[in-house]
């Protein structure tokens, strides 16, 4: 399963890229707005840092506007994947952009039928939002299981990109279900690294080693 970070923050991306574990980045208008400044420059810099797929979302809501914006975003860097919302206009824009060779990530997916329709429109990725489903009392991860099953049945090349991830349990479940990609906020990636027994264990190893060294002199 590929690991993307869900952020527009260059410092977070730089630190994760340096660890050698980062496969790509997803952004959205909310995340880029939080960073301020020139979003095209930020996207170009993200592409340089990650050298993998970088989702950049259109803000137009009509098909023609999404296609125009999608072409413009795709022109920023070859790593850009154009993100469009799951609407009828978005599905039409997805099909058009995909037929020009642009990779498209269909976002704001909350049902298996939406994911299936996006795959039929030749999306490279679909982004089901698990956390936001949990927020309304549903079980977001059930949707991932449904989508993975459907895509496997028909051998759709569209990748399942688990989004709106809130905790490491989402990450584990996504991997067990065979999702292709999980996009995770930097704070949750940090949680994935941590285990108190690792810290305690390391401290004990080092203490024992130091004690043994001291006994030698
Ligand atoms: O990038 C889209 C998605 O991951 C948003 O997550 O936490 O705003 O529901 P969230």
Residue 127 above 90 pLDDT? yes
- With a 6 Å cutoff on the Cβ, whether 65 touches ligand 1 is no
Q: Catalytic: 95?
A: no
Write out pLDDT tens, residues 8-18.
999 999 999 99
Q: What is the pLDDT of residue 51?
A: 97
CA 114 to CA 34: how far, in whole Å? 28
If one compares 186 and 217, the residue with the highest pLDDT of the two is 186
Which residue's CA is minimally distant from atom 9 of ligand 1?
A: 164
- With a 6 Å cutoff on the Cβ, whether 132 touches ligand 1 is yes
Beta pairing, strands 104-109 & 80-85: parallel
Write out pLDDT tens, residues 86-103.
999 999 999 999 999 999
Q: Could you give the number of structural domains in the chain?
A: 1
Q: What percent of the chain has pLDDT over 70?
A: 100
Give the mean model confidence (pLDDT) for residues 132-142: 98
Q: How does DSSP classify residue 60?
A: -
Q: What is the CATH number of the domain that holds 127?
A: 3.20.20.70
Q: What is the pLDDT of residue 155?
A: 95
Q: What are the Cα distances from residue 145, in Å, to 139, 140, 213?
A: 11, 9, 53
Q: What is the pLDDT of residue 217?
A: 80
- With a 6 Å cutoff on the Cβ, whether 52 touches ligand 1 is no
Q: What is the pLDDT of residue 191?
A: 98
Which residue's CA is minimally distant from atom 6 of ligand 1?
A: 164
- With a 6 Å cutoff on the Cβ, whether 28 touches ligand 1 is yes
Q: What is the pLDDT of residue 203?
A: 98
Give the mean model confidence (pLDDT) for residues 59-77: 98
Average of per-residue pLDDT values in the chain? 98
Write out pLDDT tens, residues 27-41.
999 999 999 999 999
Instruction: Identify the domain containing residue 139 by its residue range.
Output: 2-215
Q: Which residue has the tokens 């799951």?
A: 86
CA 127 to CA 104: how far, in whole Å? 11
**C-alpha of residue 41 to centroid of ligand 1, in Å:** 22
Q: Is 181 helix (H, G, I), strand (E, B) or coil?
A: strand
CA 167 to CA 197: how far, in whole Å? 19
Which residue's CA is minimally distant from atom 8 of ligand 1?
A: 164
Judge whether 13 and 191 are in contact, CB under 8 Å.
Answer: no
- With a 6 Å cutoff on the Cβ, whether 89 touches ligand 1 is no
**C-alpha of residue 64 to centroid of ligand 1, in Å:** 25
Give the mean model confidence (pLDDT) for residues 193-199: 97
């Amino acid at each position: 399963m590929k690991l993307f970070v869900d952020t527009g923050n260059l410092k977070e991306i730089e630190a994760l890229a340096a660890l050698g574990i980062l496969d790509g980045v997803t952004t959205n208008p909310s995340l880029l707005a939080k960073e301020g400044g020139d979003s095209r420059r930020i996207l170009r810099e993200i592409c340089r840092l990650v050298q993998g797929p970088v989702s950049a979302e259109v803000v137009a809501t009509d098909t023609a506007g999404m296609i125009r914006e999608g072409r413009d975003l795709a022109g920023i860097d070859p790593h850009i994947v154009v993100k469009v919302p799951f609407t009828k206009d978005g599905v039409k824009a997805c099909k058009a952009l995909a037929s020009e060779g642009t990779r498209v990530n269909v976002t704001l997916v909350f049902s298996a039928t939406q994911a299936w329709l996006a795959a039929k429109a030749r999306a490279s990725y679909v982004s089901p939002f698990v956390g936001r489903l949990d927020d309304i009392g549903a079980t977001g991860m059930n949707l991932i299981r449904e989508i993975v099953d459907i895509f496997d049945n028909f051998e759709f090349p569209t990748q399942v990109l688990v989004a709106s991830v809130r905790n490491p349990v989402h990450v584990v479940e996504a991997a067990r279900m065979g999702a292709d990609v999980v996009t995770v906020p930097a704070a949750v990636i940090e949680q994935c690294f941590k285990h108190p027994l690792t810290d305690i264990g390391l401290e004990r190893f080092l203490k024992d080693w130091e004690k043994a060294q001291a006994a030698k002199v």
